[in-house]
Amino acid sequence: MTICLMVAALQVAAENPRPQFGEKPKLVVGIVVDQMRWDYLSIYYNRFTREGFRRMIDEGYSFDNCLINYLPTVTAIGHTSAYTGTSPAFHGICGNTFFIDGKRTYCCQDSTVKTVGTDNKNVGKMSPKNLLATTIGDQLRLHTNFRSKVIGVSYKDRAAIFPAGHAANAAYWLDIKNGQFVTSTYYMTELPQWVKDVNKRMSQHQELKKLGKDVGLSPLAGTLTADMAIAALKGENLGKGEETDMLCVSFSQTDLIGHKWSTRGEHTDEAYLELDKDIARLFDALDEQVGKGNYIAFLTADHGAAHNSQWMEDNKLHAGKWLSEKLRKDLDKYVASKLGNSKSVILGIIDYRFFLDKEGIRQQGLDYQQVKDVIVEYLRQSPNLSFVVDCEKIATSPIPSILRDRMLLGYNFHRSGEIFVVPEPGYYEFGSWTSPVGTTHGEWNPYDAHIPLLFYGWHVPHGSHAQEVHITDIAPTVCSLLHVQQPNACIGDILQFD
């Protein structure tokens, strides 16, 4: 009878791998690969090592149709949404840069804090101040009365800060001028000794000295990020305490390389094959430090990327460049001819959104709605735009529901601008900052919105799932596994490992 009960229990456990109350992993590891398209998993699968991406694919669980369910699809929003389980409408991080009360604002800038770890003063004036929602790490810290440790590491400040959240013990990012990891007084007043040791080794790194500020265009940036993550794992004794800890690691070199050289070619190949080795090293360190099966890891991306438009055209595919800089000049002239204004009514065009100067419109005695109507009228006559939408009328605009839903989830009244444009498929914004052989992102299309989502480790079976899931489902799924409350603005669903 006892043997029968044991067999039955094992069968139930096999069919239902989700943990029971009281069970918990020693560590949660979140990995975000900046600008990673979902199809890279299959493109590089046979060239990956068995201990990096393939460990997660071959032994873990893949959600093969994970989509970003808001607009626009950019770095700061993607990192934030993955860890908060919500979208810009609620978490307030509406881009890498956006306007707050008419003031252009970098997403994690904070003039009230100071740089720690370098004499490059401005690089560390950063914090999660502009984030309106909690993250997985915040909820974990709250759940354990702040006994859990949460650390964020990345090349980019925003990719370290927003995943780690408000209550994180620390977030570290790279000062590319001096080639060392830094933080801000939001977290601490002095770097821990283990970080100083990392920076000392980096100061002697010959390849880093040679690359200088261009290190982000090299796979070395990923190697340094992995080194820092492993150092944090050991330096903070993550996974060694009574409570579950969390390590948030974001690899950014893939984004810089993609913007410079696009989605195909030797640079992109090298970036992902070297990243695979760095992820393998990270997993080896986790096995050694925490123990295989004692940690749970997930891997996703903040957004994808379009193929280079010229490359697409050369191969007889519909694509092209949306020239926002030229359009703005022509638009300013058109609005002035219609309304008689002497100053531009546009503060900026960012991520396919037009931010209007509300105070300037008022001072010039113009009607705000009329200004928007004139701009929309002009843009609807512009080539290569599928849709133009007044943001305050998204819900009633005659646009496909997929766009309506994603615009609404991406729209924050105070921070998201006034007019949204949607280019034709294959078209993307091209300006003076854009590499002619590179690429960019930001749109609703699968090339920008279809991202990898892999889970591996503690209570994760091997398998895959082809139905649509969303980036906002990551946080509630992790919190459910930990039996921790979801982040406070979470809108995602809990994913099942079928």
Tell me which residues are annotated as active site.
75
Q: Please, what is the angle between helix 75-84 and helix 157-164, to 10°?
A: 20
Q: Which of 387, 383, 381, 378 is nearest to 420 (CA)?
A: 387
Cis preceding linkage at 72, omega within 30: yes
Give the full edge-to-edge strand order of the sheet including 385-390. 346-350, 353-356, 419-423, 385-390
Q: 458 in helix, strand or coil?
A: coil
Angle at 69 between CA 67 and CA 72, to 5 degrees: 110
The single residue listed with the structure tokens 């740089």 is: 115
Neighbouring C-beta atoms of residue 336, cutoff 10 Å: 14
Contact 251, 275 (CB under 8 A): yes
How far is residue 242's CA from residue 263's CA, in Å, rounded to a whole number?
Answer: 43
Name the DSSP letter for residue 119. S
Q: Work out the number of other CB atoms within 10 angstroms of the CB of residue 428.
A: 24
At 209, which helix (H) or strand (E)?
helix 206-211
CB 253 within 8 A of CB 217: yes
Q: Which residues pair with 175 in a beta bridge?
A: 180
Residues contacting residue 365 through CB under 8 Å, at least 6 positions apart = none
CA separation for the pair 83, 473 (Å, rounded): 9
* Residue 156 CB partners (closer than 8 Å, separation 6+): 34, 75, 173, 174, 250, 252
DSSP state of 102: T
H or E stretch including 337? helix 324-339
- Cα(300)–Cα(85) distance, rounded to whole angstroms? 13
φ, ψ for residue 201, nearest 5 deg: -65, -40
User: How many Å is the Cα radius of gyration of the chain?
Assistant: 23
Other C-beta atoms lying within 10 Å of the C-beta of residue 240: 14
